[in-house]
Chains A and B, each alone.
Chain A
Amino acid sequence: MSPMKLCVPGDKLCSVEDCIPGTGVYLRHGYIYSSLAGYVLKKNEGEELPVISVVRETEAQLLPDVGAIVTCKVTSINPRFAKVHILYVGSTPLKDRFRGTIRKEDVRATEKDKVETYKSFRPGDIVLAKVISLGDVQSNYLLTTAENELGVVVAHSESGAQMVPISWCEMQCPQTHVKEFRKVARVQPEYLQA
Protein backbone atom coordinates (compact mmCIF):
# COMPACT_ATOMS: atom_id res chain seq x y z
CA MET A 1 0.00 0.00 0.00
CA SER A 2 1.39 3.42 -0.85
CA PRO A 3 2.35 5.46 2.24
CA MET A 4 -0.58 7.65 3.25
CA LYS A 5 -0.08 11.34 3.79
CA LEU A 6 0.08 12.66 7.35
CA CYS A 7 -2.02 15.69 8.19
CA VAL A 8 -2.74 17.84 11.23
CA PRO A 9 -5.73 20.02 12.16
CA GLY A 10 -5.89 23.07 9.92
CA ASP A 11 -4.06 21.54 6.93
CA LYS A 12 -5.58 22.54 3.61
CA LEU A 13 -6.27 19.29 1.74
CA CYS A 14 -7.93 20.29 -1.53
CA SER A 15 -10.64 22.40 -3.05
CA VAL A 16 -14.31 21.44 -2.80
CA GLU A 17 -14.39 21.07 -6.59
CA ASP A 18 -11.90 18.19 -6.51
CA CYS A 19 -13.35 16.07 -3.71
CA ILE A 20 -16.40 15.57 -1.53
CA PRO A 21 -15.75 16.08 2.21
CA GLY A 22 -16.02 12.95 4.38
CA THR A 23 -15.30 12.49 8.10
CA GLY A 24 -12.54 14.32 9.97
CA VAL A 25 -12.58 17.33 7.62
CA TYR A 26 -14.40 20.63 7.41
CA LEU A 27 -15.26 23.16 4.71
CA ARG A 28 -14.18 26.76 4.74
CA HIS A 29 -14.29 29.31 1.90
CA GLY A 30 -14.54 26.59 -0.75
CA TYR A 31 -11.58 24.55 0.52
CA ILE A 32 -11.45 21.34 2.51
CA TYR A 33 -9.34 21.44 5.68
CA SER A 34 -8.41 18.62 8.03
CA SER A 35 -9.80 18.69 11.57
CA LEU A 36 -7.94 15.66 12.96
CA ALA A 37 -4.30 14.56 13.22
CA GLY A 38 -4.12 11.42 11.11
CA TYR A 39 -3.86 10.06 7.60
CA VAL A 40 -5.61 11.33 4.49
CA LEU A 41 -7.83 8.74 2.81
CA LYS A 42 -9.26 9.28 -0.67
CA LYS A 43 -11.96 6.83 -1.74
CA ASN A 44 -13.38 6.64 -5.24
CA GLU A 45 -17.10 5.87 -5.22
CA GLY A 46 -18.58 5.54 -8.68
CA GLU A 47 -18.44 8.30 -11.25
CA GLU A 48 -18.84 11.11 -8.71
CA LEU A 49 -15.96 12.99 -7.13
CA PRO A 50 -13.79 10.99 -4.68
CA VAL A 51 -14.59 11.26 -0.97
CA ILE A 52 -11.72 12.61 1.14
CA SER A 53 -11.54 11.89 4.86
CA VAL A 54 -8.98 11.80 7.67
CA VAL A 55 -8.61 8.65 9.76
CA ARG A 56 -6.75 7.82 12.95
CA GLU A 57 -5.56 4.42 14.20
CA THR A 58 -7.63 4.65 17.36
CA GLU A 59 -11.17 5.64 16.48
CA ALA A 60 -12.45 8.62 18.41
CA GLN A 61 -15.55 8.31 20.55
CA LEU A 62 -18.70 7.59 18.57
CA LEU A 63 -21.97 9.09 19.74
CA PRO A 64 -25.33 7.38 19.25
CA ASP A 65 -27.15 9.15 16.46
CA VAL A 66 -30.86 9.19 15.60
CA GLY A 67 -31.77 6.02 13.70
CA ALA A 68 -28.72 4.07 14.87
CA ILE A 69 -29.13 0.50 16.13
CA VAL A 70 -27.61 0.24 19.59
CA THR A 71 -26.95 -2.60 21.99
CA CYS A 72 -27.87 -1.81 25.57
CA LYS A 73 -28.24 -3.39 28.97
CA VAL A 74 -31.37 -2.91 31.06
CA THR A 75 -30.59 -1.40 34.46
CA SER A 76 -34.00 -0.81 35.96
CA ILE A 77 -37.66 -1.15 35.05
CA ASN A 78 -40.73 0.77 36.03
CA PRO A 79 -44.40 0.40 34.93
CA ARG A 80 -43.90 3.37 32.57
CA PHE A 81 -40.42 2.82 31.11
CA ALA A 82 -37.18 0.88 31.29
CA LYS A 83 -33.81 2.52 31.89
CA VAL A 84 -30.84 1.16 29.96
CA HIS A 85 -27.10 1.72 29.56
CA ILE A 86 -26.04 1.96 25.92
CA LEU A 87 -22.95 -0.21 25.42
CA TYR A 88 -22.42 -0.51 21.64
CA VAL A 89 -23.36 1.69 18.71
CA GLY A 90 -23.67 -0.64 15.75
CA SER A 91 -20.64 -2.87 16.26
CA THR A 92 -18.38 -0.25 17.90
CA PRO A 93 -18.05 -0.51 21.69
CA LEU A 94 -18.39 2.75 23.57
CA LYS A 95 -15.69 3.73 26.03
CA ASP A 96 -18.21 5.39 28.29
CA ARG A 97 -21.78 4.29 29.00
CA PHE A 98 -24.60 6.50 27.80
CA ARG A 99 -27.97 6.31 29.47
CA GLY A 100 -31.19 5.63 27.55
CA THR A 101 -34.88 5.14 28.17
CA ILE A 102 -37.34 2.80 26.49
CA ARG A 103 -40.86 4.06 27.15
CA LYS A 104 -43.77 1.68 27.60
CA GLU A 105 -45.38 2.76 24.31
CA ASP A 106 -42.14 2.21 22.37
CA VAL A 107 -41.67 -1.42 23.37
CA ARG A 108 -43.71 -2.87 20.55
CA ALA A 109 -45.66 -1.71 17.52
CA THR A 110 -49.04 -3.28 18.25
CA GLU A 111 -51.27 -3.02 21.36
CA LYS A 112 -49.03 -0.32 22.83
CA ASP A 113 -51.32 0.40 25.77
CA LYS A 114 -51.45 -3.20 26.95
CA VAL A 115 -47.68 -3.50 27.35
CA GLU A 116 -46.32 -4.53 30.74
CA THR A 117 -42.63 -3.69 31.06
CA TYR A 118 -42.19 -6.53 33.56
CA LYS A 119 -43.21 -8.95 30.84
CA SER A 120 -41.00 -7.31 28.20
CA PHE A 121 -37.66 -6.68 29.92
CA ARG A 122 -35.92 -7.53 33.15
CA PRO A 123 -32.82 -5.87 34.66
CA GLY A 124 -29.68 -7.42 33.21
CA ASP A 125 -31.13 -8.19 29.77
CA ILE A 126 -29.17 -7.26 26.66
CA VAL A 127 -31.47 -5.46 24.23
CA LEU A 128 -31.12 -4.32 20.60
CA ALA A 129 -32.87 -0.97 20.16
CA LYS A 130 -33.02 1.97 17.80
CA VAL A 131 -32.45 5.59 18.81
CA ILE A 132 -35.49 7.77 18.13
CA SER A 133 -34.40 10.94 19.85
CA LEU A 134 -31.36 12.48 21.51
CA GLY A 135 -33.64 13.63 24.30
CA ASP A 136 -34.21 17.05 25.76
CA VAL A 137 -33.31 18.74 29.03
CA GLN A 138 -35.10 16.24 31.25
CA SER A 139 -34.57 12.96 29.45
CA ASN A 140 -31.77 10.72 28.20
CA TYR A 141 -31.59 9.09 24.78
CA LEU A 142 -35.02 7.75 23.79
CA LEU A 143 -34.96 4.28 22.29
CA THR A 144 -37.51 2.00 20.68
CA THR A 145 -37.82 -1.76 20.24
CA ALA A 146 -41.01 -1.58 18.15
CA GLU A 147 -39.71 -3.71 15.30
CA ASN A 148 -39.38 -7.43 14.72
CA GLU A 149 -35.59 -7.38 14.74
CA LEU A 150 -35.36 -5.31 17.92
CA GLY A 151 -35.82 -6.48 21.48
CA VAL A 152 -34.18 -8.80 23.97
CA VAL A 153 -31.21 -10.74 22.59
CA VAL A 154 -29.65 -12.27 25.70
CA ALA A 155 -31.52 -12.87 28.93
CA HIS A 156 -30.91 -14.97 31.99
CA SER A 157 -33.70 -16.87 33.75
CA GLU A 158 -34.41 -16.62 37.43
CA SER A 159 -32.27 -19.71 37.98
CA GLY A 160 -29.31 -18.06 36.25
CA ALA A 161 -29.10 -19.95 32.95
CA GLN A 162 -29.12 -18.20 29.58
CA MET A 163 -32.56 -18.57 28.01
CA VAL A 164 -33.49 -19.71 24.52
CA PRO A 165 -36.07 -17.71 22.52
CA ILE A 166 -39.15 -19.68 21.52
CA SER A 167 -41.44 -16.94 20.18
CA TRP A 168 -41.57 -13.15 19.93
CA CYS A 169 -42.87 -12.91 23.48
CA GLU A 170 -41.44 -15.90 25.33
CA MET A 171 -38.07 -17.34 26.25
CA GLN A 172 -37.40 -20.70 27.91
CA CYS A 173 -34.73 -21.72 30.36
CA PRO A 174 -32.91 -24.86 29.14
CA GLN A 175 -32.36 -26.22 32.64
CA THR A 176 -35.68 -25.71 34.43
CA HIS A 177 -37.83 -25.48 31.24
CA VAL A 178 -39.67 -22.52 32.76
CA LYS A 179 -41.01 -20.04 30.20
CA GLU A 180 -40.57 -16.34 30.87
CA PHE A 181 -42.09 -13.38 29.08
CA ARG A 182 -39.83 -11.04 27.16
CA LYS A 183 -40.11 -8.88 24.02
CA VAL A 184 -37.74 -11.03 21.97
CA ALA A 185 -35.80 -9.86 18.92
CA ARG A 186 -36.25 -11.96 15.79
CA VAL A 187 -33.27 -14.29 15.46
CA GLN A 188 -31.31 -13.85 12.23
CA PRO A 189 -31.87 -16.88 9.94
CA GLU A 190 -28.18 -17.86 9.92
CA TYR A 191 -28.23 -18.46 13.67
CA LEU A 192 -31.27 -20.75 13.65
CA GLN A 193 -30.43 -24.42 14.09
CA ALA A 194 -32.77 -26.78 12.31
Chain B
Amino acid sequence: MAGLELLSDQGYRLDGRKATELRKVQARMGVFAQADGSAYLEQGNTKALAVVYGPHEMRGSRSRARHDRAVINCQYSMATFSTAERKRRPHGDRKSTEMSLHLKQTFEAAVMTQLYPRSQIDIYVKILQSDGGNYSVCVNAATLAVIDAGIPMRDYVCACTVGFVDETPLADLCYAEESGGVSSLALALLPRGGQIALLQMDARLHQDHLEALIEAAMTACKGVSKVLDQVVRQHLQEASVNSAE
Protein backbone atom coordinates (compact mmCIF):
# COMPACT_ATOMS: atom_id res chain seq x y z
CA MET B 1 0.00 0.00 0.00
CA ALA B 2 1.13 3.56 -0.53
CA GLY B 3 2.73 5.51 2.30
CA LEU B 4 -0.21 7.92 2.42
CA GLU B 5 -3.24 6.39 4.07
CA LEU B 6 -6.08 6.80 1.61
CA LEU B 7 -8.65 5.44 4.03
CA SER B 8 -7.98 5.53 7.78
CA ASP B 9 -9.23 2.93 10.26
CA GLN B 10 -12.02 5.25 11.37
CA GLY B 11 -13.17 5.55 7.77
CA TYR B 12 -11.82 9.02 6.96
CA ARG B 13 -10.08 9.91 3.72
CA LEU B 14 -7.17 12.29 3.12
CA ASP B 15 -9.36 15.38 3.08
CA GLY B 16 -11.53 14.25 5.99
CA ARG B 17 -14.45 12.93 3.95
CA LYS B 18 -16.18 9.64 4.50
CA ALA B 19 -16.01 6.99 1.80
CA THR B 20 -19.32 7.85 0.12
CA GLU B 21 -19.18 11.60 0.67
CA LEU B 22 -18.99 13.91 -2.35
CA ARG B 23 -17.01 17.13 -2.49
CA LYS B 24 -18.83 20.44 -2.22
CA VAL B 25 -20.46 21.36 -5.53
CA GLN B 26 -21.00 25.02 -6.39
CA ALA B 27 -22.24 26.11 -9.79
CA ARG B 28 -23.50 29.12 -11.71
CA MET B 29 -25.28 29.20 -15.05
CA GLY B 30 -25.30 31.93 -17.66
CA VAL B 31 -21.88 33.35 -16.82
CA PHE B 32 -21.23 34.58 -20.40
CA ALA B 33 -23.71 36.67 -22.33
CA GLN B 34 -22.03 36.16 -25.71
CA ALA B 35 -22.34 32.38 -25.83
CA ASP B 36 -25.66 30.60 -26.28
CA GLY B 37 -25.14 28.75 -23.01
CA SER B 38 -22.45 28.74 -20.34
CA ALA B 39 -21.83 27.42 -16.85
CA TYR B 40 -19.12 27.44 -14.19
CA LEU B 41 -18.87 24.51 -11.80
CA GLU B 42 -16.62 23.77 -8.84
CA GLN B 43 -16.42 20.34 -7.28
CA GLY B 44 -14.09 20.68 -4.30
CA ASN B 45 -10.95 22.24 -5.75
CA THR B 46 -11.58 21.21 -9.35
CA LYS B 47 -12.98 24.14 -11.33
CA ALA B 48 -14.36 23.94 -14.86
CA LEU B 49 -15.95 26.35 -17.29
CA ALA B 50 -18.25 25.09 -20.04
CA VAL B 51 -19.52 27.07 -23.03
CA VAL B 52 -22.07 25.94 -25.62
CA TYR B 53 -22.70 27.42 -29.06
CA GLY B 54 -25.52 26.27 -31.27
CA PRO B 55 -27.27 24.72 -32.91
CA HIS B 56 -25.89 26.51 -35.95
CA GLU B 57 -24.90 25.77 -39.51
CA MET B 58 -22.11 23.25 -40.04
CA ARG B 59 -18.73 24.94 -40.04
CA GLY B 60 -15.79 23.52 -41.88
CA SER B 61 -16.33 20.43 -43.99
CA ARG B 62 -19.98 20.11 -44.89
CA SER B 63 -19.50 16.44 -45.69
CA ARG B 64 -19.46 15.72 -41.95
CA ALA B 65 -23.04 16.98 -41.61
CA ARG B 66 -25.58 14.29 -40.76
CA HIS B 67 -28.83 14.54 -42.72
CA ASP B 68 -31.07 13.49 -39.85
CA ARG B 69 -29.40 14.85 -36.72
CA ALA B 70 -27.05 17.47 -35.35
CA VAL B 71 -23.32 16.86 -34.96
CA ILE B 72 -21.91 17.53 -31.49
CA ASN B 73 -18.40 18.94 -31.48
CA CYS B 74 -16.61 18.91 -28.12
CA GLN B 75 -13.30 20.37 -27.16
CA TYR B 76 -11.66 19.73 -23.81
CA SER B 77 -8.68 21.77 -22.70
CA MET B 78 -6.86 22.56 -19.50
CA ALA B 79 -5.56 25.98 -18.57
CA THR B 80 -1.77 26.11 -18.35
CA PHE B 81 -2.06 27.15 -14.70
CA SER B 82 -4.49 24.38 -13.76
CA THR B 83 -1.95 21.84 -12.52
CA ALA B 84 0.86 21.93 -9.97
CA GLU B 85 3.45 22.37 -12.73
CA ARG B 86 2.70 24.67 -15.66
CA LYS B 87 1.11 22.65 -18.42
CA ARG B 88 3.18 22.82 -21.56
CA ARG B 89 0.57 21.66 -24.06
CA PRO B 90 -3.00 22.60 -23.06
CA HIS B 91 -4.76 21.06 -26.05
CA GLY B 92 -4.00 18.75 -28.91
CA ASP B 93 -2.27 16.13 -26.79
CA ARG B 94 -3.57 12.61 -26.66
CA LYS B 95 -5.28 12.92 -23.28
CA SER B 96 -7.28 15.99 -24.35
CA THR B 97 -8.33 14.38 -27.62
CA GLU B 98 -9.50 11.28 -25.77
CA MET B 99 -11.44 13.37 -23.26
CA SER B 100 -13.05 15.38 -26.06
CA LEU B 101 -14.17 12.16 -27.72
CA HIS B 102 -15.63 10.84 -24.45
CA LEU B 103 -17.51 14.08 -23.88
CA LYS B 104 -18.88 13.90 -27.42
CA GLN B 105 -20.10 10.34 -26.92
CA THR B 106 -21.66 11.23 -23.58
CA PHE B 107 -23.64 14.15 -24.92
CA GLU B 108 -24.71 12.40 -28.10
CA ALA B 109 -26.55 10.00 -25.81
CA ALA B 110 -28.44 12.70 -23.95
CA VAL B 111 -29.03 15.61 -26.34
CA MET B 112 -32.00 15.20 -28.68
CA THR B 113 -30.01 15.73 -31.86
CA GLN B 114 -32.79 14.50 -34.19
CA LEU B 115 -34.52 17.86 -33.80
CA TYR B 116 -31.72 19.72 -35.58
CA PRO B 117 -30.75 17.99 -38.82
CA ARG B 118 -27.69 19.21 -40.71
CA SER B 119 -26.49 21.50 -37.95
CA GLN B 120 -23.74 21.56 -35.34
CA ILE B 121 -23.64 22.04 -31.57
CA ASP B 122 -20.28 23.10 -30.06
CA ILE B 123 -19.39 22.31 -26.45
CA TYR B 124 -16.13 23.75 -25.14
CA VAL B 125 -14.92 22.89 -21.65
CA LYS B 126 -11.89 24.33 -19.94
CA ILE B 127 -10.44 23.14 -16.64
CA LEU B 128 -9.26 26.12 -14.62
CA GLN B 129 -7.99 24.15 -11.65
CA SER B 130 -7.43 20.42 -11.69
CA ASP B 131 -7.77 18.40 -8.48
CA GLY B 132 -9.03 15.05 -9.69
CA GLY B 133 -12.24 13.94 -11.39
CA ASN B 134 -11.61 16.13 -14.45
CA TYR B 135 -13.93 14.20 -16.74
CA SER B 136 -16.79 14.19 -14.22
CA VAL B 137 -16.58 17.89 -13.50
CA CYS B 138 -16.51 18.62 -17.25
CA VAL B 139 -19.65 16.56 -17.84
CA ASN B 140 -21.50 18.24 -14.99
CA ALA B 141 -20.48 21.72 -16.14
CA ALA B 142 -21.38 20.94 -19.75
CA THR B 143 -24.83 19.64 -18.70
CA LEU B 144 -25.60 22.98 -17.05
CA ALA B 145 -24.30 24.87 -20.08
CA VAL B 146 -26.45 22.83 -22.50
CA ILE B 147 -29.53 23.45 -20.32
CA ASP B 148 -28.65 27.16 -20.24
CA ALA B 149 -28.50 27.19 -24.05
CA GLY B 150 -32.03 25.78 -24.27
CA ILE B 151 -30.98 22.69 -26.23
CA PRO B 152 -33.44 19.86 -25.48
CA MET B 153 -32.03 16.93 -23.53
CA ARG B 154 -33.60 13.67 -22.40
CA ASP B 155 -32.36 14.10 -18.84
CA TYR B 156 -29.44 15.58 -16.92
CA VAL B 157 -26.07 13.93 -17.44
CA CYS B 158 -24.26 13.56 -14.13
CA ALA B 159 -20.83 12.05 -13.78
CA CYS B 160 -18.64 10.92 -10.93
CA THR B 161 -15.24 9.27 -10.55
CA VAL B 162 -15.06 6.47 -8.01
CA GLY B 163 -12.18 4.33 -6.77
CA PHE B 164 -11.67 1.13 -4.84
CA VAL B 165 -9.47 1.04 -1.73
CA ASP B 166 -9.43 -1.55 1.10
CA GLU B 167 -12.59 -3.28 -0.10
CA THR B 168 -14.41 0.09 0.03
CA PRO B 169 -15.59 2.16 -2.90
CA LEU B 170 -14.59 5.83 -2.54
CA ALA B 171 -16.81 8.37 -4.27
CA ASP B 172 -15.53 11.51 -6.01
CA LEU B 173 -11.78 11.06 -6.03
CA CYS B 174 -9.41 13.96 -5.59
CA TYR B 175 -6.01 14.22 -7.30
CA ALA B 176 -4.03 12.70 -4.41
CA GLU B 177 -6.31 9.66 -4.41
CA GLU B 178 -6.23 9.27 -8.20
CA SER B 179 -2.46 9.36 -8.37
CA GLY B 180 -2.13 7.19 -5.25
CA GLY B 181 -2.67 4.05 -7.27
CA VAL B 182 -6.41 3.68 -6.77
CA SER B 183 -8.35 1.84 -9.50
CA SER B 184 -10.58 4.65 -10.65
CA LEU B 185 -13.77 4.36 -12.70
CA ALA B 186 -15.62 7.27 -14.30
CA LEU B 187 -19.36 6.93 -14.85
CA ALA B 188 -21.75 9.29 -16.64
CA LEU B 189 -25.39 8.62 -15.79
CA LEU B 190 -28.84 9.85 -16.83
CA PRO B 191 -30.20 9.81 -13.25
CA ARG B 192 -33.97 9.65 -13.83
CA GLY B 193 -33.92 6.49 -15.90
CA GLY B 194 -30.70 5.08 -14.43
CA GLN B 195 -29.18 4.80 -17.92
CA ILE B 196 -25.42 4.82 -18.24
CA ALA B 197 -24.11 7.20 -20.90
CA LEU B 198 -20.43 6.40 -20.48
CA LEU B 199 -18.36 4.07 -18.32
CA GLN B 200 -14.60 4.33 -18.40
CA MET B 201 -11.84 2.63 -16.47
CA ASP B 202 -8.23 1.93 -17.35
CA ALA B 203 -6.93 0.35 -14.19
CA ARG B 204 -6.98 -3.16 -12.81
CA LEU B 205 -9.91 -4.29 -10.74
CA HIS B 206 -11.06 -7.72 -9.63
CA GLN B 207 -14.38 -8.56 -11.29
CA ASP B 208 -16.01 -9.31 -7.91
CA HIS B 209 -15.64 -5.66 -6.96
CA LEU B 210 -17.03 -4.26 -10.20
CA GLU B 211 -20.71 -4.39 -9.29
CA ALA B 212 -20.17 -2.68 -5.93
CA LEU B 213 -18.12 0.00 -7.59
CA ILE B 214 -20.73 0.72 -10.27
CA GLU B 215 -23.44 0.85 -7.58
CA ALA B 216 -21.41 3.38 -5.62
CA ALA B 217 -20.85 5.43 -8.76
CA MET B 218 -24.57 5.48 -9.58
CA THR B 219 -25.45 6.60 -6.07
CA ALA B 220 -22.85 9.35 -6.23
CA CYS B 221 -24.16 10.52 -9.63
CA LYS B 222 -27.70 10.70 -8.26
CA GLY B 223 -26.38 12.86 -5.44
CA VAL B 224 -24.73 15.19 -7.95
CA SER B 225 -27.96 15.36 -9.95
CA LYS B 226 -29.84 16.65 -6.90
CA VAL B 227 -27.38 19.52 -6.55
CA LEU B 228 -27.51 20.36 -10.28
CA ASP B 229 -31.31 20.27 -10.14
CA GLN B 230 -31.29 22.85 -7.35
CA VAL B 231 -28.92 25.08 -9.33
CA VAL B 232 -31.13 24.94 -12.45
CA ARG B 233 -34.34 25.67 -10.56
CA GLN B 234 -32.76 28.59 -8.74
CA HIS B 235 -31.43 30.01 -12.00
CA LEU B 236 -34.88 29.72 -13.62
CA GLN B 237 -36.51 31.52 -10.72
CA GLU B 238 -33.93 34.31 -10.79
CA ALA B 239 -34.40 34.68 -14.54
CA SER B 240 -38.17 34.94 -14.19
CA VAL B 241 -37.83 37.55 -11.44
CA ASN B 242 -35.49 39.60 -13.63
CA SER B 243 -37.83 39.46 -16.62
CA ALA B 244 -40.83 40.37 -14.50
CA GLU B 245 -39.21 43.62 -13.34
Q: In the complex, what's the smallest C-beta–C-beta distance from A73 to chain B, in angstroms?
A: 15
Distance of B242 from chain A, by nearest CB (Å): 9
10 A-B contact pairs sorted by A residue (CB < 8 Å): A9-B147, A10-B193, A33-B155, A35-B153, A36-B147, A37-B236, A39-B240, A59-B150, A60-B149, A99-B57
Q: Residues of A at under 8 Å CB distance from B?
A: 6, 8-10, 12, 24, 26, 28, 33, 35-39, 56-61, 63, 95-99, 134-138
Q: Contact: B54 with A9, CB < 8 Å?
A: no
Contacts of B151 in A (CB 8 A): 60
A136 touches B232 (CB 8 A): no
**Which B98-124 residues have C-beta < 8 A from chain A?**
112, 116-119
Q: At the interface, yes or no: B17 with Cβ under 8 Å from chain A?
A: no
Contacting pair B152 A138 (CB below 8 A): no
Number of interface residues of B (CB under 8 A): 36
Known: A8-B229, A37-B236. A96 touches B57 (CB 8 A): yes
- Give 9 A-B pairs besides A10-B190, A36-B152, A37-B236 with Cβ atoms closer than 8 angstroms: A6-B236, A9-B152, A10-B153, A26-B154, A38-B236, A61-B54, A95-B56, A136-B67, A137-B65
A95 to B229 Cα, complex, angstroms = 28
CB distance from A143 to the nearest CB of B (A): 14
Q: Which residues of B contact A (CB under 8 A)?
A: 36, 54-57, 62-63, 65, 67, 112, 116-119, 147, 149-156, 190-193, 229, 232-233, 235-237, 239-240, 243
Please indicate the chain A residues that have their CB under 8 angstroms from the CB of B55 in the complex.
Answer: 61, 63
Contacts of B147 in A (CB 8 A): 8-9, 36-37
CA distance A169 to B54 in the complex (A): 38
Q: Given A6-B236, A8-B147, is A26 in contact with B229 using a C-beta cutoff of 8 Å?
A: no
* CA A6 to CA B36, docked complex, whole Å: 21
Q: Which 4 A-B pairs have the closest CB atoms?
A: A10-B155, A60-B150, A35-B152, A96-B56
- Which A residues are in CB contact (< 8 Å) with B191? 10
Q: Are A95 and B36 neighbours in the complex by a CB distance under 8 Å?
A: yes
Per the bound structure, the CA–CA distance linking A96 and B112 in Å amounts to 20
A9→B57 contact, CB < 8 A: no
Q: Which residues of A have CB within 8 Å of B237?
A: 6
Complex contacts, B62 vs chain A, CB 8 Å? 137-138
Q: How far is the CA of A61 from the CA of B240 in the complex (A)?
A: 20
A24 → chain B closest CB, angstroms = 6
Query: What chain B residues lie within 8 Å of A38 (beta carbons)?
Result: 150, 236
A134 touches B117 (CB 8 A): yes
CA distance A9 to B233 in the complex (A): 11
CA distance A56 to B190 in the complex (A): 22
Closest beta carbon of chain A to B116's beta carbon, Å: 6
Q: Which residues of B contact A37 (CB under 8 A)?
A: 147, 150, 232, 235-236
Contacts of A9 in B (CB 8 A): 147, 152-156
B240 proximity list for chain A (CB < 8 A): 39, 57
- Return B97 CB to nearest CB of chain A, in Å: 26
Task: Flag if B57 contacts A26 (CB, 8 Å).
Answer: no
Query: What chain B residues lie within 8 Å of A12 (beta carbons)?
Result: 192
- Residues in chain B near residue A61, CB distance under 8 A: 36, 54-56, 150
> Which residues of chain A have C-beta atoms less than 8 A from B112's C-beta?
26, 35
Query: Which A residues are in CB contact (< 8 Å) with B154?
Result: 9-10, 26, 28, 33, 35
Specify which chain B residues have a CB less than 8 angstroms from the CB of A39 in the assembled complex: 236, 240
